[in-house]
Chains A and B, each alone.
Chain A
Amino acid sequence: MQYKAEIHVTLKRTVNDPQGLAIRGGLHSLGFETVESVRAGKFIEVWLEADSAQEAQRLADDMSDRLLANPVIEDYRVELVAADQARTSPRSAGGGVT
């Protein structure tokens, strides 16, 4: 069965985020003066085949631990969606861009 794993990679709370600070500065310049804090991260969609949701979750966790996130500075969160429930299939989406 095909699954889509939506993987959110975020900097750990204790890690400084220069990119978030720069975005915050840009938002302030645009007039969004009430913005207090911005943290930037990565969003990665992985389409994969697995026998079960648990197997898909295990694979997504494994690839996150070993490559997609750096455990020294980053945390990750996986949201699993069965592909037939996902809005767009990878083929029609042209390489995963929705």
Chain B
Amino acid sequence: MRFAVLVFPGTWSDWDCVYALEDLGQTAERVWHRETALDDYDGVILPGGFSYGDHLRCGAIARFSPVMSALERFAASGKPVFGSCNGFQILCEAGLLPGVLQRNASMQFRCQPQQLSVERVDSGFTGACEPGQIVQLPISHGEGQYFAPPQVLDELEDAGRVLFRYHGENPNGSLRDIAGIVNPAGNVLGMMPHPERASDALLGGTDGNYIWRSIIEHWG
């Protein structure tokens, strides 16, 4: 597959995502946020970082970057879009996913290995996982407390759109332990943890590859 890895001013996980995808034999290109076309790609990654310095709200300014119109069209076409950390925040601000990521309940920036339960394995993003699997991915954020009104949370649960939950300690106070959700069509995933930082044994874990491999198997 050919992936676009979007780069906003302040994005910092872009090279890690490129490394992880190329390591799995894919093509991955960093795409500057002023691009207006994504038609040549099979998947789009919104990496972590601090786009626009997190000013106003995390992801609030990035949402108006020129590439975002192309991203909306890309998402509507059914191809996979994956946002991690700041990428998740941008997807929520852009309205491609519901809810918002608030300041961690602890007021602490949390940078630690985190266990996650995989809630379903029949999705395009988790097909390579085993039912009931627990994966371990790094988290690194100060604003990852997932919030949405109760009726939105119920809709997410009823439609099976919660793909990942924090297992064990909830590191940020996210409602219903939500760590990652998809859009109604199931082709846009946002999650706070960083699979690209668990994609090589040298980094202490390779569980991130379950997500990359799932995407490649489903959409490749």
Contact = CB atoms under 8 A, between A and B. Distances in A.
Contact of A72 (B103, B145, B149): B149
Interface string A48-71: 000000000000000000011010
A70 B93 contact: yes
Given A15-B147, A18-B173, A73 B102 contact: yes
B60 A67 contact: yes
| Interface size of B as a range | 10 to 19
Contacts of B159: none
B107 interface: yes
A19 B56 contact: no
A70 B100 contact: yes
Interface in B78-98: 93, 98
B99 A18 contact: no
Contacts of B36: none
Contacts, number: 37
B147 A72 contact: yes
Contact of B102 (A18, A22, A67): A18
A66 to B, nearest CB: 9
Name B's interface SS: loop
A88 interface: no
Given A15-B147, A16-B173, A18-B173, A70 B106 contact: no
B100 A22 contact: no
Interface residues of A, number: 12
Contacts of B173: 16, 18
Interface string B55-73: 0110010001000000000
B60 A16 contact: no
A19 B149 CA distance: 20
Contacts of B103: 18-19
Interface of B: 56-57, 60, 64, 93, 98-100, 102-107, 145, 147-149, 173
Interface of A: 15-16, 18-19, 21-22, 42, 67-68, 70, 72-73
28 contacts: A15-B102, A15-B147, A16-B102, A16-B105, A16-B173, A18-B103, A18-B104, A18-B105, A18-B106, A18-B107, A19-B103, A19-B107, A21-B107, A42-B56, A67-B56, A67-B60, A67-B64, A68-B56, A70-B60, A70-B93, A70-B100, A72-B99, A72-B100, A72-B148, A72-B149, A73-B100, A73-B102, A73-B147
